[in-house]
């Protein structure tokens, strides 16, 4: 595709659609929007805009479409695959000023929000109403970015990924047209399901300007446990047993020894430095969860657990989960001279012990630094590699391992990306995973965005 | 019309004896549970995806419609050959291919009857929750095509929530696989969800990968009587607010009860205006607690009587009666228009009140029943089929759907648009949204050979 570089006229027009103080071509602003949390090289946009409402967004898109100017949406820039980077230049539309919670309907378990709302802020506001929005990626992500990436988190094993928690969207299409899709009703079989097409499309089919979210009631009771294992394989096996038995955990996180020692160092906690599961249950009564915990203890014991500590109080549980949420940052801070690559495969749960064994062996053989930690209950495996910035050998080995792990996952019936999205980094695996259905994804892209202005250079090679 | 040379070619594509053309043989395929009637030109029984692909290539060349058909229980006319053509009866795709008890996944062909599949997985200690009241007649393929809901939607969601992946034949004759066998995945666009609920207008489904759950250990079934209909409606929200999520929460108004009364053996208190049928499931312990909690909430909300089903037989009797409501409506009057509206749950009392107004205003009986826990009511406008009543019926529909949309709802919760709701699409969707959907249809089916005349006017 041929794109136009911004000229003075474009700049005047775009400024006019927003306001002088909500438009910038300043170097520092552009630099801030040139990288996400991945290792992908910086890519500078030509300008950054902060719209305030849907009609501004619509004007920006309509004009950009006519002029063939690439438009990349920006939430918090916390992606791990280069998803919000301006591969082909153009403008970044930053949604952080569209951050109002428009309505909370407690009775319906629903909230209408703008895309720039940070989900953690939303949950703070909802707390005293006894409600929460369940998907919880380990970053200060925006609702718009979560919808675009179909993000997950520790709660996904029980409450689903972002997709399962969206009821209605307002979308601006590439040509500036505004459509609303979905309903406040709990279900619908009316027309084609555009919500699910937009969700997970990484800002390549349309831009989200408003979302009706499905909220959940805070559980009446919860209970958490920390369980240590001799190896990641035995922990992986326990994960399989727990899911298979239908115990329905509200979180089931696996962390290898390296992660635990990092957490100990950063938080002053004193966890046993062994491969570990963080497990949580939600339920209606203490006696019920107690019973479930007992079954869990037996299942873990049959997978050779070393230590099983349940009955953890709210404070410690909050500390555990907040350290789990901050683990990504801790790893980054622990290796200031490194760049990072996150493998993010998911496999059918029975193949989980196998993929995790393979990942561990590969890392050991390759002699590289990598952390294994995962939303294990979903069959998701994260392998976060740290490679020294200019060390070619590190990166050669890391890339080789990454390719082998992803291919293995796909051959086990799994996927190249469980939650981070395709972005730039996973494009190469799309053909292997999707075969000829990839063509139909491209056709949909062409239909929605014939001029290819929306987040070009993503998903498809 | 299918040209004669095309018919001859069709015979070469599919196995001998797999093509019906005699008018008497076609009769069965001319209708579904809407009772409308459109004659097909022929009916084919393909047995492989490749055959279907060849049929599509022929249809694109010779330009005749292809209409996939499952159990024919559809309520919006999705399987009807409104423009003639070839009905693709999926009957031979009737195998359960694989049930993976480790990963809680199953792969089935589309013509597996919903109930057969439910029973099969339950015998393995597993559970497939979607449970349309037509489970004994509908197929999994038809359920996927309509994104069918059912009696367990409140706690367990709808068919679409259980579809992990599909193999489909596209109208251009290509066979593709969509989706994953993992619990999550975000690689690329979600083609699976696009085909789910597309009412057989984007692709013919030849295999379906479904997610299963472990079977709940226990359940308890309750029947609760109300003297004031709005009290019953309000109780629905009260239960959910009380932190109990029943698997099933069904509502029946007085006329709906009337028409299945002969199937119910337990006594119904005098002056009952509404019933809630409630089932909770889970572990023994949770179920006992939940049932008690439900009882308390119902009684404090103003129920006149609460009854816990005493035996398995009684439970079966309750659900049997519930399943019969739809068909029994026609015992009250010769004609009906059935609507399938959904509103946010706490708006059900508003909707019920509005139905009473409409009934008075247009002098037509308008019984309602349905999946109240989902906010989904099946509203039936009963008619004597006189031109005047039909006209009034149409007016009721318009007013009803407008109110539903104003309340934040949708014009069809689970039956689909098909032909019966096509003229109301523009009430729910703006012109650009409809255009976009039509364009998606155009991408998959450029010559409009697959199930034409549905969804879009
Ligand atoms: C430490 C760390 C931990 C993480 N943990 C998880 C995790 O547990 N699970 C997980 O799934 N992810 C995780 N992530 C990845 C990331 O946080 C998520 O993908 C997140 O949803 C991105 O949101 P964002 O607001 O930062 O979006 P951005 O990164 O700014 O953008 C993401 C994508 O969304 C598009 N976009 C943004 N706003 C809109 C809009 N309004 N309309 C259309 N498109 C839009 C962008 O163009 C881009 O393609 C983690 C990241 C970090 C750094
Ligand atoms: C008494 C009664 C109760 C009902 N209760 C419910 C209920 O509780 N919940 C609910 O949701 N529905 C209900 N229904 C409606 C109906 O049963 C459902 O819509 C069901 O999903 C239809 O399945 P079927 O196999 O009969 O499909 P059909 O009626 O044969 O076809 C329905 C649609 O699916 C398409 N189709 C069928 N097979 C395929 C395939 N292999 N590939 C592509 N497209 C295909 C057809 O073209 C058509 O558009 C009820 C119906 C009756 C008669």
Write down the mean pLDDT value for chain B.
94
Which one of A191, A248, A355 would you mutate to disrupt binding with B, by most B Cβ within 10 Å of its Cβ? A191
- Tens digits of per-residue pLDDT, A299-311? 999 999 999 999 8
Residue carrying the six token digits 């395929």: B29
H-state helical runs in B140-283? 140-146, 153-156, 191-195, 229-241, 254-260
B225 within a domain of the structure (yes/no): yes
CB atoms within 10 A of CB A366: 17
Residue ending a domain, among B89, B105, B124, is: B89
Pocket test for ligand 1, best of A81, A86, A120, A137 (most atoms within 8 A of CB): A137
A118 contact partners, CB below 8 Å, separation of at least 6: A76, A99, A140, A141, A142, A143
The model's pTM is 0.94
Q: Say if CB B63 and CB B83 are below 8 A apart.
A: no
CATH architecture of the domain with residue range A335-421 = 2-Layer Sandwich (3.30)
**What's the longest Cα–Cα distance across chain A?**
70
Q: What confidence category does residue A406 fall into, taking pLDDT thresholds of 50, 70 and 90? A: very high
- Rounded to whole angstroms, how far apart are CA atoms A126 and A218? 10
Residue ending a domain, among B214, B231, B253, is: B214
Helix, strand, coil share (%) of chain B residues, nearest 5 = 40, 20, 35
Question: Residue B317's domain spans which residues?
Answer: 216-332
CB atoms A105 and B198 under 8 Å: no
Is the per-residue pLDDT at B449 higher than 90?
yes
Are B103 and B83 in a shared domain?
no
Write down the mean pLDDT value for chain A.
94
CB atoms A194 and B437 under 8 Å: yes
Contact status of A451 with chain B (Cβ, < 8 Å) = no
Poorest-confidence range of A290-294, A413-417, B277-281? A413-417
Give me the pLDDT at residue A212, please. 97
| More confident: B146 or A138 | B146
Are B194 and B224 in a shared domain?
no
- Whichever domain contains B165, its CATH number is 3.30.465.10
Are B128 and B193 in a shared domain?
yes
Residue A413, helix vs strand vs coil:
coil
Contact status of A146 with chain B (Cβ, < 8 Å) = no
- Tens digits of per-residue pLDDT, B69-100? 999 999 999 999 999 999 999 999 999 999 99
Are B111 and B142 in a shared domain?
yes
Poorest-confidence range of A140-149, B180-189, B337-346? B180-189
Residue B189, helix vs strand vs coil:
coil
Q: Is A182 in the pocket of ligand 1 (CB under 6 A)?
A: no
Give me the pLDDT at residue A283, please. 86
Are B149 and B226 in a shared domain?
no
Contact status of A178 with chain B (Cβ, < 8 Å) = yes
B 226-245: CB under 8 A from A: 237, 241, 243-244
- Mean pLDDT, range B176-199, rounded to an integer: 88
Query: Where are chain A's structural domains?
Result: 97-217, 219-332, 335-421
Residue B417, helix vs strand vs coil:
coil
Q: What confidence category does residue A262 fall into, taking pLDDT thresholds of 50, 70 and 90? A: very high
Are B326 and B220 in a shared domain?
yes
A455: left (phi over 0), alpha (psi -120 to 50) or beta: left
- Mean pLDDT, range B175-204, rounded to an integer: 90
DSSP 8-state secondary structure symbol assigned to residue A42: P
Q: Say if CB B158 and CB B414 are below 8 A apart.
A: yes
Among A169, A192, A167, which residue's Cα sits nearest to residue A179? A169
Among A105, A201, A219, A102, which residue's Cα sits nearest to residue A158? A219
Dihedral sign from CA coordinates of B134, B138, B143, B147:
negative
Helix axes B49-62, B4-13, angle to 10 degrees: 170
Q: What confidence category does residue A72 fall into, taking pLDDT thresholds of 50, 70 and 90? A: very high
Give me the pLDDT at residue A36, please. 94
Residue B14, helix vs strand vs coil:
coil
Is the per-residue pLDDT at A32 higher than 80?
yes
Residue A207, helix vs strand vs coil:
strand
As for how many domains chain B has, the answer is: 4
**What's the longest Cα–Cα distance across chain B?**
71
Are B159 and B201 in a shared domain?
yes
Domain pair A97-217 / A335-421, same fold: no
Phi (first) and psi of residue A282, to 5 degrees: -115, 140
Residue carrying the six token digits 């395709």: A422
- Mean pLDDT, range A323-334, rounded to an integer: 93
Closest ligand to B70 CA?
2
Contact status of A181 with chain B (Cβ, < 8 Å) = yes
CATH number for A219-332: choose from 3.40.250.10, 3.40.50.300, 3.30.70.2190, 3.30.390.50: 3.30.70.2190
Are B295 and B223 in a shared domain?
yes
B441 contact partners, CB below 8 Å, separation of at least 6: A192, B201, B202, B448, B455, B456
- For residue B338, what are the β-bridge partners? B380
Are B193 and B300 in a shared domain?
no
Q: In chain A, which residue's Cα lies nearest the Cα of B341?
A: A188
Give me the pLDDT at residue B266, please. 82
Are B314 and B342 in a shared domain?
no
- Whichever domain contains B264, its CATH number is 3.30.70.2190
Residue ending a domain, among B89, B107, B138, is: B89
Q: What confidence category does residue B243 fall into, taking pLDDT thresholds of 50, 70 and 90? A: confident
- Whichever domain contains B348, its CATH number is 3.30.70.2740
* B151 CA from centroid of ligand 2 (Å): 15
Class (C level, CATH) for A97-217: alpha beta
Q: What confidence category does residue B298 fall into, taking pLDDT thresholds of 50, 70 and 90? A: very high
CB atoms A191 and B428 under 8 Å: yes
B222 within a domain of the structure (yes/no): yes
């Amino acid at each position: 595709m041929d794109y136009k570089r911004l000229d003075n006229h474009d700049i005047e027009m775009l400024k006019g659609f927003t306001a002088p103080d909500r438009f910038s071509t300043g170097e520092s602003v552009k630099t801030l929007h040139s990288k996400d949390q991945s290792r992908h090289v910086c890519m500078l946009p030509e300008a950054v805009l902060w719209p305030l409402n849907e009609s501004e967004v619509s004007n920006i898109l309509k004009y950009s479409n006519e002029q063939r100017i690439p438009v990349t949406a920006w939430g918090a820039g916390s992606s791990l695959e280069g998803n919000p980077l301006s591969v082909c230049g153009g403008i970044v539309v930053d949604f952080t000023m569209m951050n109002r919670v428009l309505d909370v309907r407690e009775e319906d378990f629903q909230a209408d929000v703008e895309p720039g709302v940070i989900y953690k802020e939303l949950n703070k506001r909802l707390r005293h109403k006894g409600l929460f929005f369940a998907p919880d990626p380990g970053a200060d992500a925006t609702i718009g970015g979560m919808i675009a990436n179909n993000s997950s988190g520790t709660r996904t094993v029980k409450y689903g990924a972002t997709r399962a928690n969206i009821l209605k969207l307002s979308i601006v299409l590439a040509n500036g047209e505004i459509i609303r899709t979905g309903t406040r009703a709990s279900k619908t079989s009316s027309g084609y399901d555009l919500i699910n097409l937009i969700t997970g499309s990484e800002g390549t089919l349309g831009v989200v300007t408003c979302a009706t979210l499905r909220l959940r009631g805070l559980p009446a009771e919860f209970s958490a446990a920390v369980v240590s294992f001799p190896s990641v394989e035995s922990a992986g096996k326990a994960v399989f047993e727990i899911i298979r038995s239908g115990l329905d955990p509200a979180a089931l996180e696996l962390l290898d020894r390296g992660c635990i020692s990092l957490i100990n160092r950063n938080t002053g906690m004193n966890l046993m430095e062994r491969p570990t599961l963080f497990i949580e249950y939600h339920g209606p009564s203490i006696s019920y969860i107690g019973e479930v915990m007992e079954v869990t203890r037996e299942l873990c014991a049959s997978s050779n657990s070393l230590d099983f500590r349940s009955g953890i109080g709210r404070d410690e549980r909050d500390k555990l989960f907040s350290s789990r949420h901050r683990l990504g940052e801790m790893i980054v801070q622990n290796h200031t001279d490194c760049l990072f690559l996150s493998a993010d495969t998911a496999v059918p749960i029975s193949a989980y012990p196998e993929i995790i064994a393979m990942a561990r062996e590969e890392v050991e053989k390759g002699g590289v630094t990598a952390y294994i930690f995962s939303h294990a209950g979903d069959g998701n495996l994260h392998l976060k590699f740290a490679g020294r910035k200019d060390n070619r050998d590190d990166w050669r080995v890391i890339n080789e391992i990454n390719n082998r792990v992803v291919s293995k996952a796909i051959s086990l019936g799994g996927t190249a990306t469980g939650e981070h999205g395709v972005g730039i980094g996973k494009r190469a695996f799309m053909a292997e995973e999707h075969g000829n259905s990839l063509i139909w994804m491209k056709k949909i892209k062409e239909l929605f965005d014939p001029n290819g202005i929306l987040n070009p250079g993503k998903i498809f090679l | 019309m299918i040209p004669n040379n095309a018919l001859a070619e069709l015979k070469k594509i599919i196995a001998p004896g797999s093509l019906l053309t005699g008018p008497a043989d076609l009769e069965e395929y001319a209708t579904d549970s809407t009772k409308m009637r459109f004659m097909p030109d022929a009916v084919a029984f393909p047995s492989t995806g490749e055959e279907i692909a060849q049929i599509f290539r022929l249809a694109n060349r010779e330009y005749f419609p292809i209409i996939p058909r499952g159990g024919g229980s559809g309520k919006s006319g999705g399987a009807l050959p409104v423009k003639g053509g070839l009905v693709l009866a999926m009957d031979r795709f009737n195998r359960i291919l694989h049930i993976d008890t480790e990963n809680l996944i199953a792969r089935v062909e589309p013509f597996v009857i919903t109930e057969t599949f439910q029973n099969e997985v339950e015998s393995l200690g597993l559970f497939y929750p979607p449970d349309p009241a037509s489970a004994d007649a509908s197929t999994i393929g038809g359920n996927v095509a309509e994104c069918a809901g059912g009696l367990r939607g409140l706690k367990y969601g709808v068919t679409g929530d259980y579809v992990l992946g599909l193999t489909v034949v596209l109208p251009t004759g290509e066979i593709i696989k969509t989706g994953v066998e993992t619990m999550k995945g975000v690689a690329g666009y979600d083609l699976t969800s696009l085909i789910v609920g597309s009412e057989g207008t984007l692709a013919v489904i030849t295999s379906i990968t479904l997610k299963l759950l472990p079977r709940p250990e226990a359940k308890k079934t309750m029947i609760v009587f109300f003297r004031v209909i709005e009290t019953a409606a309000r109780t629905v929200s009260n239960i959910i607010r009380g932190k109990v999520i029943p698997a099933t929460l069904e509502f029946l108004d007085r006329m709906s009860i009337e028409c299945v009364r002969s199937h119910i053996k337990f006594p119904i208190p005098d002056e009952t205006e509404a019933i809630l049928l409630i089932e909770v499931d889970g572990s023994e312990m949770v179920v006992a607690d939940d049932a008690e909690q439900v009882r308390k909430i119902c009684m404090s909300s103003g129920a006149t009587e609460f009854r816990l089903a005493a035996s398995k037989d009684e439970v079966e009797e309750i659900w049997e009666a519930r399943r019969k409501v739809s068909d029994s409506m026609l015992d009250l009057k010769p004609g009906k228009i059935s609507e399938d509206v959904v509103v946010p749950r706490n708006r059900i009392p508003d909707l019920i009140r509005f139905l009473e107004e409409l009934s008075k205003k247009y002098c037509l009986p308008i019984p309602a029943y349905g999946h109240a826990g989902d906010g989904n009511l099946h509203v039936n406008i009963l008619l004597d089929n006189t031109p005047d009543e039909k006209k009034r019926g149409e007016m009721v529909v318009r007013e009803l759907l407008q109110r539903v949309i104003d309340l934040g709802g949708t014009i069809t919760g689970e039956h689909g648009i098909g032909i019966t709701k096509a003229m109301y699409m523009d009430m729910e969707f703006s012109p650009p949204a409809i255009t976009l959907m039509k364009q998606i249809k155009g991408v998959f089916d450029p010559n409009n050979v697959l199930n034409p005349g549905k969804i879009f006017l």
